[in-house]
Amino acid sequence: MQEFADTPEGIRDAADVLRRGDLLAFPTETVFGLGADACDGAAVAKIYAAKGRPSFNPLIVHLAHARDAKTYVKVSDQAQALMDEFWPGPLTLVLPLLDNSPIAAAVSAGLNTLAIRVPNAPLAQALLAEFARPVAAPSANRSGKISPTTADHVRVGLGDRIDGLLNGPACKVGLESTIVGFDPDPVILRPGSITADQIATAIGKSPKAYEENDKITAPGQLTSHYAPNSAVRLNANSVQKGEVLLGFGPMECSLNLSPSGDLDEAGENLFSALTTLDQSGAPIAVAPIPDVGVGIAINDRLRRAAAPRD
Ligand code: TXA
Ligand code: MG
């Protein structure tokens, strides 16, 4: 795997990896993505192979500019309002795919919708502007494993399976983007740092929570996901013998997501902390996290990390 620096030359060379139809990991504000040219079916197939990802789990397309979305999907007034408010940023919209869209069929796994987003991390923006084509990118981890928020997580998890890594700082948000679909009313398909309340304010209507949604699904939302090798026990008010404790707020613990009890900070640290504690080989107990705001997304990821494995 070749590494590229955050310099104009590094960004040019990184975009060349995508132009060749190869795989490039790159940082976004949420997590590192594993990118390929979204219009090149052979390149997209390499993403599924490198991650060991089931072919029914569709990918998110990353664009440099919100104005490009209309080339690929039908943009409703509500979708436009969300784009105006939150793009660039950690929001993904699932919208009807246009018939003549050049996006490779494997990206949407045969669905007639496409997930798209415009990231705001400067390095992701620079890469997308340089490549000037849509980039399909799931999180840059092996399927079912913890999402990467640092370049080192990518090196360890996928280093021998991908062609390039655009080296950048740790991800600021640390949790994958909020995903909103329409049935035709807005539905949160995956909670993230942009909350249901923020979405309600932007469109004047409360989105349905993902549990209330019975028509559309994010097919990749498998119960066991983000799984460390060790067992995970949630809402732990005390540690049991042999466990390491992942804390929140002022307390004694092995690692603390946010000693001051700040949920944004906890989201930023979550995947890194799970990765670090997993190296101890001990079972991981996790202190209760308030189920409000970003805490909803943190608890969603923790429940999947703790779920029974296949
Ligand atoms: O923050 C993020 O969104 C990161 C960065 C790299 O942008 N990407 C990411 O991708 O989290 P991934 O592949 O790990 O998660 C994509 C999710 C999956 O749960 C998938 O099922 C859902 O998006 N998805 C993609 N296309 C969809 C569609 N057409 N309809 C419903 N869900 C879709
Ligand atoms: Mg993922």
How many Å apart are CA 140 and CA 26, to the nearest integer? 8
Q: How do strand 60-62 and strand 113-117 relate by DSSP bridges?
A: parallel
Instruction: Decide whether any atom of ligand 1 lies within 6 Å of the 176 Cβ.
Output: yes
> Which mutation among 59, 97, 101, 213 tests ligand 1's pocket best, with the greatest number of atoms within 8 A of CB?
59
Ligand 1 atom at minimum distance from 141 CA: 14
Instruction: Decide whether any atom of ligand 1 lies within 6 Å of the 38 Cβ.
Output: no
Q: Which token pair is 113? A: 């919708």
Q: Whose CA is nearest to atom 18 of ligand 1?
A: 220
Instruction: Decide whether any atom of ligand 1 lies within 6 Å of the 110 Cβ.
Output: no
> Which mutation among 24, 28, 60 tests ligand 1's pocket best, with the greatest number of atoms within 8 A of CB?
60
Check residue 142 and give its pLDDT.
95
> Which mutation among 116, 139, 178, 223 tests ligand 1's pocket best, with the greatest number of atoms within 8 A of CB?
139
C-alpha angle 258-92-187 in degrees, rounded to nearest 5:
95
End-to-end CA, the chain: 30
**For residue 179, which of 197, 193, 168 has the smallest C-alpha distance?**
193
Check residue 208 and give its pLDDT.
92
Amino acid letter for position 243: E
Q: Model pTM?
A: 0.96
How many Å apart are CA 248 and CA 293, to the nearest integer? 15
Hey, how many other C-beta atoms are within 10 angstroms of the C-beta on 183? 13
Cβ atoms 97, 114 nearer than 8 A = yes
Check residue 308 and give its pLDDT.
83
C-alpha angle 51-53-58 in degrees, rounded to nearest 5:
120
Check residue 219 and give its pLDDT.
58
Amino acid letter for position 277: L
Ligand 1 atom at minimum distance from 34 CA: 6
112 C-alpha to center of ligand 1: Å? 15
Check residue 166 and give its pLDDT.
98
Instruction: Decide whether any atom of ligand 1 lies within 6 Å of the 137 Cβ.
Output: yes
Amino acid letter for position 250: P
Q: Which helix (H) or strand (E) holds 297?
A: helix 294-306
238 C-alpha to center of ligand 2: Å? 30
Ligand 1 atom at minimum distance from 179 CA: 23
Instruction: Decide whether any atom of ligand 1 lies within 6 Å of the 171 Cβ.
Output: no
Check residue 226 and give its pLDDT.
79
Hey, how many other C-beta atoms are within 10 angstroms of the C-beta on 268? 22
Residue 277 DSSP class: H
How many Å apart are CA 13 and CA 106, to the nearest integer? 26
What is the pLDDT tens value at each position of the chain, 310 positions in all?
Answer: 999 999 999 999 999 999 999 999 999 999 999 999 999 999 999 999 999 999 989 999 999 999 999 999 999 999 999 999 999 999 999 999 999 999 999 999 989 999 999 999 999 999 999 999 999 999 999 999 999 999 999 999 999 999 999 999 999 999 999 999 998 999 999 999 999 999 999 999 999 987 665 555 665 566 777 788 999 999 999 899 999 999 999 999 999 999 999 999 999 999 999 999 999 999 999 999 999 999 999 999 999 999 887 6
Q: Which helix (H) or strand (E) holds 68?
A: none
